[in-house]
Chains A and B, each alone.
With several copies, the nearest count.
Chain A
Amino acid sequence: MSNDVRVAVSGDEPALVPYITAGDPSLAATTEYVEALAAGGADVIELGMPFSEPIADGPTIQNAIQRSLEAGTTPERYFELVESLDIDVPIVCMTYYNLLYQYGEGEPGDSDYERLLPFVERAAEAGVSGLIIPDLPVDESDPLRQACDEYGVDLIFIVAPTTTDERLAKMREQVSGFVYVQARLGTTGAQADVSDATHESLTRLAEWEVPKAVGFGVSEGQHATEIVEAGAAGVVAGSVFVDMIAAGEDVPNKLEAKARELKQGALDGAVSSTPEPGK
C-alpha cells in the first residue's frame, strides 16, 4: 500500500480523489465500496470518520454521517477497518478536530500536541496517509502539524475562494500532501460551469509546489475534464458517491462505474490541456 499522498496526486496523469463516509451503512460495506472505487481508478480515497456535528458538510454527507454513527462507527473501528483494507491506494482520513482531541487518555495539563499524538499515532499505524480536518484552519493547526510530522502523516488544507493572500501565505508554510481547492462558495450539488472558478483559484496557487486537487460539485465526467483543463492535478468528488450509497442498489458496481467515468473525464482533460513544461 502506498501512503505517499503527494505522489499519488501528482503522478503523470490527473488523479481522482473520491470521498465516502466510513461505516455508511456499515463498515463491512465500506470495505467493498473502497475496493470498488480503487478498481474504478481512484488515486487517493478520502474516507470520512463520522463526527456528530459535521459543520463543514452538506446535507448529503451529513445524512451519511448520521447513518454511520447509528451503525456504531467509532474512531477505533474506523482504524481497524483501514488496517484491514487490501488496496493500493492511499487513504486520507477526513474528520473533525474534536475526535482527534478526545482520542487517548488526556491528562490535565497536557499540551494540545500531547492530546493529539495518540490519534495521529494510531492513524499512522493503521495506514492512514493523510488527514483533512475541515474545522481546523491553519491558524489553529500548529500542534497537529507537529504531531503529523512526528508520524509522517500528511496534513491537507483546504483553500477556499474567500481565502485571502495573507492567509495563503500562512497556509503555504503548513501544507503537505496536496492542497484541496474548494472551487466555489457553498457545499455540494452539480455545478453548471466549474472551469472559470477553478482556473482563477489555481492561478493564485500557481507557485505552490504541492499538487492541487479541486472539488465541490463534481458529479460528471465532463466536470472532471473541465477541472483538469483548468490546470488541476486532481479531482475530488464526494456527494455523487454518497448519493449512490444512500440509494443502496447495486452500489459497488455503480461506484466503480462512476469512478471510471470521472477518471476518464480527468484523463480527457489532461489530453486537451496543454501540459506545463516539466510536468
Chain B
Amino acid sequence: TKFGEYGGQYVPEVLMPAIEELTDAYERYVLDNEDGFMDEFRERLADFGGRPTPIQRADRLSERYDAEVYLKREDLLHGGAHKLNNALGQVLLAKYMGKERIVAETGAGQHGTATAMAAAHLDMPCEIYMGKRDIRRQRPNVFRMRLNGAELNPVTVGRGTLKEAINETMRDWATSVEDTHYVIGSIVGPHPFPRMVRDFHSVIGEEIRAGIEEKTGDLPDSLVACAGGGSNTMGTFHDLVPDEEVSLFAVEAGGDGLIVDDEEGVAPHSASLSTGSEGVLHGARTKLLQDADGQIVESHSVSSGLDYAGVGPELSYLVDEGRVTPVNVDDTAALEGFHRLSRTEGIIPALESAHALAFLEAELGPDADGEHDLGEVIVVNVSGRGDKDLEAVIEETEKRDLDAAPSMEVLYE
C-alpha cells in the first residue's frame, strides 16, 4: 500500500471495508484484467474518449528552443483534458463491482465534468460535490455536469471550495459506502487510489513511448508535465520511470512566490514537491504544505487545477529517490506560456499545462538560466485545453500588462 514511506490508508474505519473491497477489485480487474475489464476500458477510451491522442512536433517551439519539442495532446481527449482516463476507469470499475451510484468532488469542475460524462456514458447515477463559491465561478462546468445528468450538491460549509467539497464527499461516502463508489480525481487518497488512478492514466506515457519511437526511433531525453495532485504527471511518467536515461520534470505552480505565511496559514503557491514536508492528508502520507503544527495551509495558483496543498504519494517518493525532478514556475510565467503556445502553435492550453510549457522557456528561452539538462528530444504533456480558462486568463493578463498577450479591445469598442 506504500511507496517507500509514502501512501498508506489513513481513513475512517467506516470506509476501510470499502477500501479493502476496492483494493480487491483493483487487483482483480485492473491488474489481472479479470472479465476483460482492461480490454473494455481501453476500448471505451478509444471509442468514447478518442485515444490515442497525438504526439505532435511543435515547430515554433522547437525553433525557439533549438530542440525537438513534442507535445502530447491530452487536450484532445473527450472533455478537454486527461481527466477522462481516470473517471472512465473508475466508473467502469464501479460497474464491475456492482456499485449503483457514483460520488465525486470537484474544485474547478474538470474532474466533475469528466466523471459526469463517464457516468452518463455508462448509465450510472452520479452526484458531484462542489463548493458554493466554485459553482458561481465555474458556470460552464456546472452547465456541463448538469447536462450530463449529474446531480450537483453545493457545499456551503467553510469557504465553499475544493477542500470542503472533498470533506463533504467523504462524508457522503461514509453514509453510502455499501452501494456507492467515490471517484477520487487524482493520484491522491488512500491506497489503492494512487496506484489505480496512475494505472488508468499510464496510457499517456505508453502512447508517448510508442509515438516518439515511431517519430525519432528512440526514447525522448526528457518528459515535462505539470503537477498539482499529479495525475497527468504520473500518467506521463509511469511507463518511462524504468528508463533511467529519460529525465522526468514535474512542474509545480510557483504561484506568487515560494514563501509560506505561517501566521496566516497561507502559501502563495502550490509547490508541495518543491517545498512541502511529510504529513498525512486526505488518506495518504505524502509531501504537504503545512504549518509547524501540522495544519494544512491554503495554497494558491492562477490555475485552479494545480491549487492543492498535497500531491500524490508516489511523486513524493520518486522525488526523494531522485528519479523525478521537481521544478516550478510562477503565475506570470505560466500566463506567458499560455499565450506563447496559443499564438505560435495554434493550441490554447489549460493554465495547468501552461506551467509545463513555461518551464521550457525558463530553461531554454532567450532569457533562460538553463539549470537543468533537458536534452534534445523533449516531450511536454499538454494535459488539457484552455477553453475553461479564457475569462481567468484575460483578467489575470490585464492585471499584469503582459507583452505577449493580445489586446481584447475589439470586445469593448
Contacts and interface: CB of A to CB of B under 8 A. Distances in A.
Interface in B263-293: 265, 278-283, 288, 290, 292-293
Interface in B1-20: 8-18, 20
Given A62-B167, A63-B157, A102 B279 contact: yes
A53 interface: yes
Given A55-B167, A162-B18, A98 B281 contact: yes
A135 B8 CA distance: 11
Contact of B174 (A51, A52, A137, A187): A187
B33 interface: no
Nearest to A161: B14
Interface string A19-53: 00000000000000000000000000000000111
B295 A97 contact: no
A69 B11 CA distance: 22
**Residue with the highest number of chain B CB atoms closer than 10 Å, among A55, A136, A140, A182:** A55
Given A135-B10, A135-B11, A185-B175, A167 B290 contact: no
B294 A101 contact: yes
A164 interface: yes
A76 B295 CA distance: 13
Contact of A53 (B20, B163, B176): B163
A55 B158 contact: no
A7 interface: no
B295 A137 contact: no
Contacts of B288: 98
A2 to B, nearest CB: 27
B40 interface: no
A103 interface: yes
A100 B293 CA distance: 9
A159 interface: yes
Contacts of B245: none
B317 to A, nearest CB: 14
Contacts of B163: 53
B258 interface: no
Given A55-B170, A101-B280, A187 B175 contact: yes
B43 interface: no
A185 to B, nearest CB: 5
A162 B176 CA distance: 10
A139 B290 contact: no
Range class of the A interface residue count: 35 or more
Contacts of B20: 164, 167
B296 interface: yes
A54 interface: yes
Contact of B177 (A75, A135, A136, A162): A162
A134 B167 CA distance: 13
B60 interface: no
A11 interface: no
Nearest to B166: A55
A190 interface: no
A248 interface: no
A52 to B, nearest CB: 4
A137 B290 contact: no
B6 to A, nearest CB: 12
Contacts of B278: 101, 106
B171 interface: yes
A237 B175 CA distance: 18
Contact of A158 (B12, B175, B293): B12
B296 A52 contact: yes
Nearest to B178: A162
B16 A102 contact: no
Interface string B161-201: 00110111011001111100000000000000000000000
Interface in B112-163: 157-158, 163
Contact of B12 (A100, A101, A135, A167): A135
B171 A102 contact: no
Interface string A59-76: 100110010010000111
B280 A97 contact: yes
Contacts of A185: 14, 174-178
A24 to B, nearest CB: 14
B17 A162 contact: yes
A157 B14 CA distance: 11
Contacts of B280: 96-98, 101, 135
Interface of B: 8-18, 20, 157-158, 163-164, 166-168, 170-171, 174-178, 265, 278-283, 288, 290, 292-296
12 contacts: A53-B282, A66-B158, A76-B293, A100-B294, A102-B293, A103-B294, A134-B12, A136-B10, A140-B8, A160-B13, A160-B14, A164-B20
